[in-house]
């Protein structure tokens, strides 16, 4: 049975996820400011030398520039205590520079799993695994069929 904290954390995550799928950088940034601790700790590599909520905003700027139609579908969400675990399927069309790759027009579909810890109703820590190999292979950066 879910506790009030688990229900609240899942609802907060839902608001965060909904903002991401607007594909509106301003809405995403405002939602990050509201729901994410400014000093959020990442236990997953971010492709730039910065941390905290500003790094999360930058990640989304990069993704939106490269994949303006990006969509994140939550496949599973599990809450326990102060953590929410979610498994996503991400889709998008490569229409802008990404990781040094010029636009290919190719579509990508890849998976992610994240664990998010909440503190005082805000996202305080993030652990994640993103299938970057599948992403880059579909973009042609890694030889072979997918």
Which pLDDT score is estimated for 64?
97
Mean pLDDT in residue range 117-145: 92
When mean pLDDT is compared across 58-67, 88-97, 137-146, the lowest value belongs to 137-146
pTM of the complete model: 0.89
20: which 2 tokens? 């991401």
Which pLDDT score is estimated for 145?
61
CB atoms under 10 Å from CB of 133, counted, come to: 12
The model's pLDDT over 11-60, given as tens digits with 9 standing for 90+, comes to 999 999 999 999 999 999 999 999 999 999 988 877 667 889 999 999 99
Whether residue 146 is predicted with pLDDT greater than 70 in this model: the reply is: no
Mean pLDDT in residue range 75-88: 95
Query: Whole-angstrom Cα distance, residue 57 to residue 6?
Result: 25
């Amino acid at each position: 049975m879910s506790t009030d904290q688990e229900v609240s954390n899942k609802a907060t995550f839902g608001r965060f996820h909904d903002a991401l799928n607007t594909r509106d950088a301003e809405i995403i940034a405002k939602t990050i400011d509201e729901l994410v601790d400014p000093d959020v700790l990442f236990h997953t590599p971010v492709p730039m030398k910065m941390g905290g909520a500003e790094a999360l905003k930058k990640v989304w700027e990069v993704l939106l520039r490269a994949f303006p139609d990006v969509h994140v579908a939550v496949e599973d969400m599990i809450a326990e205590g102060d953590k929410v675990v979610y498994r996503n399927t991400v889709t998008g069309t490569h229409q802008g520079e990404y990781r040094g790759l010029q636009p290919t027009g190719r579509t990508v579909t890849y998976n992610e799993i994240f664990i998010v810890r909440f503190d005082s109703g805000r996202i305080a820590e993030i652990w994640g695994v993103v299938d970057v190999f599948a992403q880059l292979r579909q973009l042609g950066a890694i030889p072979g069929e997918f």
